[in-house]
Chains A and B, each alone.
Chain A
Amino acid sequence: MEKFDTLTAVAAPLLRDNIDTDAIIPSREMKSVSKTGLAAGLFAGWRYTAIGGREPNPDFVLNQPAYAGTRIILGGSNFGCGSSREHAVWALHEYGIRAVIAPSFAPIFFGNCIRNGIVPARLPSDAVAALAAWVEQDPAVHRITVDLEAQRVTTAAGASHRFELDEEPKAMLLEGLDAIDLTLKQRAAIEAFRARDRAARPWIYLDDPRTVST
C-alpha cells in the first residue's frame, strides 16, 4: 500500500448526508471479480446522464472543469453507509481520491479506507461546510491540505482543523503497511491464544465442516 504523508489538492464538495456505497459504485458497475476497472463506475448514477451510460452529467461536481484533478472529497455525515463493498473505496482510489473529509463515516467504509491508503478525516459538520464554501469560491486554486502526521486539515486562508485518528490506523496509513504481514509477525501469540482457547471453548473448533452431515 502506498504511504500517505501530506496532500494538497483540489477538493470536491458532496455534502449530502448518508452517501451510500451503492451511490459511490452502483452494483451494476461491479462487473467482474476484480478490484480494478472501477473508476469509470464511480458515482455512476450521478455522474452520467443515463443508467449504464457514459455521457457526463454537466451538473455533477466531478464533471466540472474547475474540479479537474480532485483528490479530496468533502462529504456529509454517515459517509459510505450501506453495503460493505470495498469496491467503493477501490473506485475512489482508482479515480485518484486520497482523502475524504466528513462529519462521520459508516464503520466498514472507514476501515476500508484505512486498508487502501485513503485518509478518512472526521471534522464537525460546520467545519466541513466552511471548507466547502471556501473551495467553491475558486475550486482549482482553493486547494485543501491534509497533513496526516499532524492530523490537520488546513487551507491557505488560514483554516486549521484537527481530526482524530487512532494511532494504529494512523501508522498503517503513514507507513503504507500491509496489515497481513504485520499480523503474521504475531503468529506465535496467535497460536498460543488458540491453544488456550481451544481448551476453554472446544465447541468452537470444527475440524472439517465439509464432513458434517446436515
Chain B
Amino acid sequence: MARTLFDKLWAQHEVLALGGSVSLIAIDRIFLHERTGSVALKSLRQAGRPVVDPGRVFCTMDHIVDTLPGRGDETRMPGGRAFIVETREAAAEAGIRVFDVRDPQQGIVHVISPELGIVLPGATVVCPDSHTCTQGAMGALAWGIGSTEAEHALATGTLRVEKPKTLRVRFEGRLAPGVTAKDLTLALISRHGSVGGNGYAVEYAGSAVRDLEIEARLTLCNMATEFSAFTGMIAPDEKTFDYLRGRPYAPRGEAFERAVAQWRELASDPDATFDREILIEVDELAPMVTWGTSPQHAVPVTGVVPAVQDSGTASEAYERALKYMGLEPGARLGELKIDAAFIGSCTNSRISDLRRAAAILRGRRVAPGVRAICVPGSMTVKRQAEAEGLDQVFRDAGFEWRESGCSMCFFAGGESFGARERVVSSTNRNFESRQGPETRTHLASPETVAASAIAGRIADARALSRAA
C-alpha cells in the first residue's frame, strides 16, 4: 500500500501498538536544554531511574545563558545560574554530551542539532522544546514534548504517542526574489490560522520546497508549532545528504553511503493519500510581516492592518491585539516606526540568514534611535560569519554582535526590550510580552528586519536591493 513519509517513519519506529491510536515509539535522539531539560534530569535522578542510553542524549545551554560578550555562568535572569549549574551537574552524572557555555559547538538546540549531524533522516528526535519540529526539515520525525515525557524517553528510550493525522502542504511555483521560507510559513499560518495544523503531522512538499536550501527548510519547519501541528517534515533529498556529509555526528565513509541508500526511500509514495491537503501557489507571495499578537496576524510588508472582517480573528481578540500593538485598522505597516530590530532565534539565525541580512546592511547604517541586535544561532555560525567578515558588516551598521543563544527571542526575567517598544524580529512568536513585558513584536524575515533597522520603520527589503 502506498505510504506517506510520516507513515514510513512511524512504522519504522513502532515497537508496539498500545491500544486506541497510541503506539510505543522508539526514540533515536533526545535533546535537552537548561530550561526544561534540567527539571527532567533532576526529577529522574530523584526517582532513582537511570538514563537508559546516554549515547542518544545531548544537552545544550541556550535558553538562559547570557549572550553578552565574555559570558560565563552568570546570566541576567534572576536565578538563571542555578539552571545552568544544575543542568551541567545532572548531565555529567548521567554521562550525557553537553554543549556547555564555553563549548565551541554551543548554540541553540535546533541550530546545532542539524549543524553537527545529530539529527539524521529517518530519526525520531524529541526535546522538551516546542520548536523541535524544526529538525523535521532533515527528513526526521521530530517533535516537542513536556518534561515528564522527556523523563519517559530518557528512562525507556521510547514514548507512548497518539498517532496524528497527515496533512500535506504543497508550495508550488517559484518564489520571487526577496521572498523567503519565513514568508512561506507566515503566509500558510495567516491563511489557515494558528490552529490550522492541529492534530496533524505536516509534510511540506512541492516545487518551492524542493528549491529551498537546507537552512531555509529548517526555517519553514520551525513554525509548524505556530500552526499547532504535531510536527513538520520534509522528505530528504540530495541537498540533505550533501549537507550532512562530513558533519561530526553523521555516519562516515561507507556507513554514510549505506545510510543514504536507505534515506532515499524516505519520501511519500506518489499515490500515497493524506488525511488533508493544502495547496499554496507561491509566485505572487510577498515578504510577510505580522501586525498582531498571533503568527496568523500576518500580511504582506506592503499591506495594511486589516479590518476586523478581513483579519480572520474574532472581534474581541482583534481589538485586544490592536490595543496591545498600539495600532489602528488600515495603518500601513511600512509607516510604523520601530524602536528595535532583532536577528536571531532557531527560526532565522543560521549563516545563510546572516549573509542575506548583511548583504542589505553593507555600507548602510541603522537609523538613529533604533537598537539593533544580531545573535548568531551557534558558535559555529558565529565563527563562520566572522571568517567572512559579516560581524564587521553588522557592527559597522550599528548592530550589537552577540554570543550564541536564544537571547531576546523570549523574556525570562533578564534582558528584554522595553514596554510598548516596537520590535521587528526574525523570531517565531509575537505573543503578548514574549520579548519583554508589553513589548510589541513584528515577525519578519532577516532581510525585512535588516531593511527596517536601516529605515527606522518597517520596510520592504526589496526596495533597498533594487536601489543598490
Chain A residues engaging chain B, CB cutoff 8 angstroms: 16-18, 20, 22-23, 26-28, 30-35, 45, 51, 77-78, 81-86, 89, 104-108, 111-112, 115-116, 166-169, 171, 179-180, 182-184, 186, 189-190, 193-194, 197, 201-210, 212-214
Contact = CB atoms under 8 A, between A and B. Distances in A.
B152 A183 contact: yes
A186 B15 contact: yes
Interface of B: 15-16, 18-22, 24, 26, 28, 35-36, 38-39, 42-43, 47, 49, 54-56, 58, 78-79, 82-83, 86-87, 95, 97, 104-105, 116, 120, 122-123, 128-130, 143-149, 151-152, 155-158, 160, 162, 164, 194-195, 198-199, 225-226, 228-230, 248-251, 255-256, 258-259, 262, 294, 314, 316-317, 320, 410-413, 429, 431-434, 437
B128 A207 contact: no
Contacts of B36: 84-86
A31 B78 contact: yes
Given A84-B145, A183-B24, A203-B251, A32 B82 contact: yes
B227 to A, nearest CB: 10
Given A78-B194, A78-B195, 13 more contacts: A26-B433, A27-B413, A78-B228, A82-B429, A84-B130, A84-B146, A104-B228, A107-B230, A167-B22, A168-B18, A168-B19, A168-B22, A204-B28
17 contacts: A17-B195, A17-B317, A33-B39, A33-B42, A77-B195, A84-B130, A85-B36, A106-B228, A115-B146, A169-B20, A171-B19, A184-B155, A189-B16, A194-B157, A206-B56, A212-B97, A212-B249
A180 B20 contact: no
Contacts, number: 202
A166 B26 CA distance: 20
Contacts of B24: 183, 186, 189-190
A17 B314 contact: yes
B21 to A, nearest CB: 6
B194 A18 contact: yes
Contact of A111 (B16, B56, B149, B413): B149
Contacts of B314: 17
Nearest to A209: B97
A24 to B, nearest CB: 12
A50 B431 CA distance: 18
Nearest to B163: A166
Contact of A27 (B20, B147, B255, B412): B412
A17 B295 CA distance: 13
A108 B146 contact: yes
A144 to B, nearest CB: 22
B119 to A, nearest CB: 11
Nearest to B14: A193
A206 B228 contact: no
B116 A214 contact: yes
B129 A84 contact: yes
A33 B85 CA distance: 10
Contacts of B157: 190, 194
B122 A104 contact: no
B417 to A, nearest CB: 14
Contacts of B35: 85
Contacts of A212: 97, 248-249
Contacts of A45: 432-433
B128 A86 contact: yes
A166 B161 CA distance: 11
A183 B156 contact: yes
A203 B97 contact: no
Contacts of A107: 143, 164, 198-199, 228-230
Given A77-B195, A84-B130, A207-B55, A179 B26 contact: no
A214 B248 CA distance: 5
Given A83-B130, A167-B20, A51 B437 contact: yes
Given A86-B36, A115-B146, A166-B162, A194 B26 contact: yes
Contact of B255 (A51, A83, A183, A202): A202
Contacts of B144: 84, 108
A213 B249 CA distance: 9
Most B CB contacts (10 A, CB to CB) among A28, A34, A35, A203 go to: A203
Nearest to A208: B55
A194 B256 CA distance: 20
B18 A22 contact: no
Contact of A168 (B162, B250, B432): B162
Given A78-B228, A193-B15, A210-B97, A18 B294 contact: yes
B157 to A, nearest CB: 6
Nearest to B293: A18
B156 A180 contact: yes
B198 A167 contact: no
Nearest to A172: B160
Contact of A82 (B38, B79, B143, B431): B431
